[in-house]
Amino acid sequence: MRTRSIALAAMAAMSLAACSSGSSGGAYGGGGSTSTSTGTSGAAATVATADVGDLGTVLVDGTGRTLYLFESDTGTTSTCTGSCAGTWPALVTDGTTTADAGADSGMLGTTTRDDGTTQVTYDGHPLYLYSGDSAAGDANGQGVGDVWYAVTSSGAPAEASSSSGGNGYGPG
């Protein structure tokens, strides 16, 4: 268990470094003009909800992986590009985005990223996955840099149900 905790701490430190380089995106915003998008590219995306640890019910993709918002984004425009997008891949789609299992279809939308791919949005927030989550139900990106949060079905940042020493909800 201690080895896993050390590995998770190292991944979090690397993701902070990856998302703090460059000058155009601000803190944790990346800086490159290119972006790396993964997720459901080549297919329609599905957004659903699932109970994820002490966060409660949050948005997940079609495979059950936790979806995040980046508080540094401006409206539906993603500011996570370059190396940031390698750590926080955008949820992208080439088809219709479907709401399933508790997600509100009226809150789904899309935005065009700087590389021309179509990123899924929810309540106006671009949605991301976290490279440090390896399985459905993981939420290792929660609270990273005080700007990355899992998304609730209302479109708000998720809050942990118990105090976890710095990963709580709050402006970045």
Q: pLDDT tens digits for 52-92? A: 999 999 999 999 999 999 999 999 999 999 999 999 999 99
Q: How far apart are the first and last CA of the chain?
A: 30
Characterize the bridge pairing of strands 46-52 and 56-61.
antiparallel
Scanning the structure block, which residue is given the tokens 């927030």? Answer: 125
Q: Which residues pair with 70 in a beta bridge?
A: 148
pTM: 0.75
Grade residue 162 by pLDDT with cuts at 50, 70 and 90. low
Q: Which residue has the higher pLDDT, 65 or 34?
A: 65
Strands (E) located in the chain: 37-39, 46-52, 56-61, 68-70, 90-93, 98-99, 108-112, 118-122, 125-126, 148-150
Residues 152, 172, 39, 46, Cα dihedral to 10°: 20
Grade residue 50 by pLDDT with cuts at 50, 70 and 90. very high
d(CA 5, CA 9): 6
d(CA 109, CA 125): 9
Grade residue 117 by pLDDT with cuts at 50, 70 and 90. very high
Go through the chain and tell me how many residues it has.
172
Whether 167 shows a pLDDT value over 70: the answer reads no
